[in-house]
Amino acid sequence: MIKKMSGLDILESFKDTLEKIKSRYLKDIKVNENNLNKKKDLEKKLDRIKDNKKEAEKLLQSQILDLEKTKKRLEDVNHELEKLKEYEVYKKQLESIKNLIQEFENKKREILEKKAQIVFELSTLIFGWSAIEKVYHENKDIEVNYDYLPTEIVRNALNENKCPICEKKLDENHRKVLEKYLSLDKEFIISVKDYNDLTKKILELENERKNLNNQLGEVLTKIEEYNNKLKSVEKNLSEIHAEKLIKLYNEKKELENQIEIINQKIGEFNNQIKFFEKEEKEIESELKNLAIGDSNRIFEKIKFVEDLQQIIINAITNRRDEIKKEILEYIKEYFGKLMWKKDLVSDVEFSPNFSLNVYDKYRNMILNRLSGGEKSVLTLSFALAMHKASGVNAPIILDRPLANISGDTYDKLIEMFSKISKEKQIIIMITDKEYQQSVEVLNELATTIHILEMNENSEVKIAEKYVKEVI
């Protein structure tokens, strides 16, 4: 399409025609009768070399196309691998989080063990202490014989097997504590000093229990936090398949080998073409050497054709560069107008075969990384650029150009089409759903709207027509 639009196909056809004319002139060279057979052999050899050169050029172009396809596929694979690099990161995160959770679980277990020991000791003291504390406080102001708590209270509690305060049945542990007090064989159970020390001990144990509860709360919070992180990482890992990773690495290696082989073939074909060109010139030179004097006129014609061939080759090269530059400028212009992500694409280029390459600011090829909507905008930019570069005064017809775009972006692009339509007529074909999506904007900006319907006979007809008055 670009070749036809730019006239390159005409120039290349003319170049081939000149080659045929040159071949005919070479055959018109006159030689002595003694050299007729040699001339025929050289002509056959020349034709064979030209055919071989043409075949090598065709194979060269095929290899160049294969190289572009393979490079693009390698780019896709590298992009996939780039995303899957997170796999190793997630694996390390997973192990790290599991280790942290285990550490906090160990801390939790240690705290619970300490807490259980303190609670047991505390409950024992408090249970056995409750009766002692009550009697002590009831008698602490009596001056004589009651500075100490008598053993009778404890002995009665043991005999009745119940707490003198709450009257609950004594368990085995609390019986042992009270029996231990009686085994002291004294008329008192506890002194004021012992009472105060024991009270202090109970308070210390209670404070330690509260402190352990606080530590436990912090540990449980951390365990919950890391368990949530663990779930998140496990989810990310579940979306990445190790098999896919291995497959992509193998494909990458294979593609890199293919690129190396293709480059070798390209080098071989280039060398073949150079060899054939050299052979071609040598045979042409031999034919000229065989010519007799009256062939000078033919030599002049051959020289003229050769000069003209060089002019055409230069013209093809220059025109190819011009059309590339022109289309790229227009693509950048329209892409800049249509694309809502202004820093997405840094540059666009054409390959030798006019394949479009798109780069980010780091010179990474990102064509296949673009979303559906972004690719649609790039395609639109390319189509508009081609149309503008062609110089053809014909309407631009776009079939569902914004199918992958929605929301405010859709309306903004419709507005941009409206501005571009001031330079060129634009016909946009959309579905009824897409029309309803932006009906107000379309009714405001479109010059003419045709609503098509299909009847029972599958015939498409204009159901409604809206024409905006243009002043």
Contact 55, 31 (CB under 8 A): no
To 5 degrees, how large is the angle CA 428–CA 432–CA 438?
70
The 10 Å Cβ neighbour count of residue 451 is: 11
Contact criterion met (CB below 8 Å) for 174 and 124: yes
User: Nearest 10 degrees: CA dihedral of 212, 214, 216, 222?
Assistant: -150
CB 235 within 8 A of CB 138: no
Please report the pLDDT score of residue 125 as a whole number: 61
CA 246, CA 249: separation in Å to the nearest integer? Answer: 5
What separation in angstroms does the CA of 281 have from each of 113, 268, 278?
98, 20, 5
Q: What is the pLDDT of residue 240?
A: 59
The pLDDT assigned to 138 comes to 44
The DSSP call for residue 347 is E
Instruction: Identify the residue with better confidence: 181 or 38.
Output: 38
Q: Cα dist. 199→183, 194, 214, 222 in Å?
A: 21, 8, 23, 35
- The answer to whether the CB of 63 falls within 8 A of the CB of 269 is yes
Decide: 462 and 452 in contact? Cβ < 8 Å: yes
Q: What local confidence, expressed as pLDDT, does residue 254 receive?
A: 92
Q: How far is the CA of 399 from the CAs of 144, 380, 430, in angstroms?
A: 112, 11, 7
pLDDT band for position 385 (cuts 50, 70, 90): confident
pLDDT category of residue 423 using cuts at 50, 70 and 90: confident
pLDDT band, very low/low/confident/very high, at 271 (cuts 50, 70, 90): very high
Confidence label for 471 from pLDDT (cuts 50, 70 and 90): very low
Q: What are 26's two structure tokens? A: 């070479």
Looking at residue 466, what is its pLDDT?
Answer: 62
pLDDT of residue 184: 61
Judge whether 168 and 204 are in contact, CB under 8 Å: no
From CA 199, how far away is CA 195, in angstroms rounded? 6
Cα distances (angstroms) measured from residue 152 to each of 72, 126, 137, 161, 244: 98, 19, 16, 14, 82
Q: How far is CA 71 from the centre of its chain?
A: 18
| Percentage above 70 pLDDT, the chain | 77
Q: CA-to-CA distance for 117 and 106, rounded, in angstroms?
A: 17
